[in-house]
Each structure stands twice: as structure tokens, then as C-alpha cells.
Amino acid sequence: MTCKVFILDFDSQDLFKAADPETIARTNRLWEKDICDFGLWTRIRNDRFEGMNDARVWQPEQPGDGPSVFVCGQSSSTMDTSWHFIKNRQMNIWDSVIAVEQTAGRGQQKRQWISPAGNIHASWLWPLPEFDGKAHTDWGGLLSLVVGFVVARVFKELNVPVQIKWPNDLLINNRKFAGILVEKRENHILVGIGINVNDSPEDSKLREEFAVPATHLSDQGYEMSPLFLWTALVEKGKSLFETLVQNTTPAEFIRMIDTQIAWVGKKVLIRQVNADVFEAVIAGLAKDGGLRIKKGNIEEVMYSGSIIPLL
């Protein structure tokens, strides 16, 4: 299974601007590599967007047979663009939108996500896990952790050693290089993923002092291009998720991911909403996905808050 890649050569309601292979290739050397590596591109009409003004797309000579990846040159937010497509039934499960650049990307707690060309700014439509009453299996409350686990596992298959900063940020050498945002509307699960591929904010430019320093893959010695990496994540991630929910119980999953959570057994600083900053030791995960922490001899479970290590 390989992804079907389409560059959107039309505009839509201020959500994104039309693009073409040559224009995208000029934005960044990594996108230039992707455009070249995917081969010759042909401009065609896509029935998915029937009724939209001159809804043409660019397709590589080998279009693939898996989920669709819609590439736009500039988007206000791939989350907003994806919700627009979902509302109009133009996205199927496992389809995704990736933008070369974003002008109003958002992360956790509606924080702005810096989105330069060369990094990944994408949104991905996931299936809603079903509740198995007989097996008492309910993945719904663990979905955010499941996404982090699946993405981290794909990176490990690509020989990138990562850890999960609870609940689903990804770290290399104690520095954040990827963030994940999960939004649910009605029966749809949309996963927003930002990955620093070749650029990241300097420590001095972080808006919040209670934040883990950032890094990017190139700075850590991993040279990857955004479209290559994104299609690999979609293809491998879909297979991993399906295997996970079919062959694993939530309790088994918690034991699997527990070993990948950053700073387990170490002291950290924690800041919760409307609370003072305090020291604690991360003890692991609770069965419902909360983070177990120890303050002295007292163990608690937290479900929200910011964490930085005491290294």
C-alpha cells in the first residue's frame, strides 16, 4: 500500500491557496527533493472535488493505491481545511492534508504552532475505535496516547529513537521535535501533527519559559524530506493502529507504552492550571492513561499540566 498524493491546484474559502509542483519545489530544498523523487507530475481533474471552481490537482506518475494525501502550498490551518473537507465528505478515513506552510497553525491549548516550509504541518483523519462490550475494551479515552505511541513506533522503524512526553509530544535527547493535537467532532477523529524536520525555534524565542527546548530532525542527524516522511507515517501508522486495536487490550497497551514515556523514575517540575509549580517523580501511567506522579510518599494521578525535567 502506498499513498495517493495530490497537490491541490485550486483555492477554497481562504483555507488554502492553489499550488503546483514547481512552486512547491522553490519553497525549500527538502520539498524540491520530494517533488523530484515522486517523479513526473500531471494536472488532472479529481472527482472528489466535483463542483468546486476548476478543481484540478497534480498527481505523480505512480499515484498509489492507499489513503489520499492532499498537499496544499499554503494553508491557514490544515485542521480547519480538513474539517471543511470532512463536512463536505471529501475525506475518507486515513486521508490527510499536509501544507507546505501554515499561517495560523495551532497546537495544544490553542497555542500557535510555528510552521515554516520544510517542516511537516498535517492533519490526518482517524477511525473512531469501537467499544467491544464483551471484551470490555474501550480505546476512546486512550486515543491521544495511542496516536503518540503509533507515531513514535513509526519513527523507531525509521531508526529515529524517540520518547513520548506525556501525553503525546515526541522528544529526541530531551528536546521536543513533534507535537500532536487530537480533535473530535461528532463521530470524526482528526489528528493534527507538527514535526520539526529542518527548523525549530531557538531556546531564547520560546514564548513560554515553562517549555521543553525544541529541536529538529536535521539538527539531530536525521535527513528526511517532508512528503517522504509523511507518506511513510501514514502507510506504516495505519497498519500499526489496526494491528494494535485488533490484537491488544487497553491494559496491555498501557504496559507497552509505559516503557516509552519520558522521565519515568525521575524528578520533574509540574505546573497545573491555577496551581503552583511543584516537584514530583513520574511513576508511569495509570490504567486510564493518566500520569502517575509521586510527591514525597503520596502518589497521585494527573490528567493535565505542563512538565519539564530536572536534569
pLDDT in the model for residue 187: 87
Residues counted in the chain:
311
C-alpha cell at 99: 501544507
Q: Computed over its alpha carbons, how large is the radius of gyration of the chain?
A: 20
Cβ atoms 38, 228 nearer than 8 A: no
Residue 144 has pLDDT above 80, yes or no: yes
Residue 208 confidence (pLDDT):
58
In the predicted structure, residue 132 carries a pLDDT above the cut 60? no
CA atoms of 311 and 292, how far apart (whole Å): 19
DSSP alpha helix (H) spans, 75-157: 78-87, 143-157
* Contact assessment for residue 240 and residue 261, using Cβ atoms and an 8 Å cutoff: no
Residue 135 predicted with pLDDT over 50: no
Domain boundaries along the sequence of the chain: 4-258, 267-309
Q: What are phi and psi of 306, to 5 degrees?
A: -105, 145
% of the chain surpassing 70 pLDDT: 89
For 181-211, how does the pLDDT look when each residue is reduced to its tens digit (9 = 90+)? Answer: 999 998 899 999 999 999 988 766 555 566 8
Q: Which CATH class is domain 4-258?
A: alpha beta
- In this model, does residue 1 exceed pLDDT 70? yes
Q: Which residue has the higher pLDDT, 107 or 29?
A: 29
